[in-house]
């Protein structure tokens, strides 16, 4: 009593379906969002919890941390309006609200936020007198 060719094909097919099902299940931890790409193009965002994707055509693109994060702004020399030189450093807090935009519309998110923060500090402090 052996297996026929049809029985072996059914067993292989069931085995492949089980493998695809396990590869398609994604668990996203709390505080993160994952972007999904189909052939390299963004299609949707996976939220925390159990999610299912099609592993043949789709893959997880970016894993974005949605929690509030802290950036240390390094010390920089600023010239005030009355030509005094002041050393200023700071801390920037930010939180990603849209995972797709943060992943695909900005190259180097932390570096962009850091440079924007440093520019704003220079602008504000440069327009002030030393007494202020």
Query: How many C-beta atoms lie closer than 10 Å to residue 35's C-beta?
Result: 20
pLDDT tier for residue 97 given thresholds of 50, 70 and 90: very high
Domain with CATH 3.30.479.30 in the chain: 69-126
Q: Are residues 119 and 112 in contact, defined by beta-carbon separation less than 8 angstroms?
A: no
Is the pLDDT at 128 greater than 60? The verdict is yes
DSSP state of 29: P
pLDDT tens for residues 23-76?
A: 999 999 999 999 999 999 999 999 999 999 999 999 999 999 999 999 999 999
Residue 33 pLDDT: 97
Residue 14 pLDDT: 93
108-130 exposure pattern, b = at least 16 Cβ within 10 A, e = fewer: ebeeebbeebbeebeeebeeeee
Query: How many C-beta atoms lie closer than 10 Å to residue 102's C-beta?
Result: 19
Q: Which CATH code, of 3.40.50.300, 3.40.50.970, 3.10.450.50, 3.30.479.30, is assigned to 69-126?
A: 3.30.479.30
Predicted TM-score (pTM) of the model is 0.78
Q: How far apart are CA 81 and CA 114, in angstroms?
A: 23
Residue 2 pLDDT: 64
Name the pairing type of β-strands 85-94 and 49-52.
unpaired
Q: How far apart are CA 26 and CA 98, in angstroms?
A: 20
pLDDT tier for residue 15 given thresholds of 50, 70 and 90: very high
């Amino acid at each position: 009593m052996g297996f026929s060719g049809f029985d072996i094909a059914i067993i292989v097919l069931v085995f492949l379906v089980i493998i695809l099902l396990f590869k398609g299940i994604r668990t996203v931890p709390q505080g993160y969002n994952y972007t999904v790409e189909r052939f390299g193009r963004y299609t949707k965002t996976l939220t925390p919890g159990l999610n299912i994707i099609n592993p043949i055509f789709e893959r997880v693109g970016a894993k974005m941390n949605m929690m509030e994060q802290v950036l240390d702004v390094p010390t920089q020399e600023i010239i005030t309006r009355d030509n005094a030189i002041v050393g200023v450093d700071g801390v920037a807090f930010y939180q990603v609200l849209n995972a797709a935009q943060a992943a695909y519309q900005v190259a180097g998110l932390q570096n962009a936020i850091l440079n924007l923060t440093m520019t704003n500090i220079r602008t504000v402090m440069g327009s002030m007198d030393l007494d202020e």
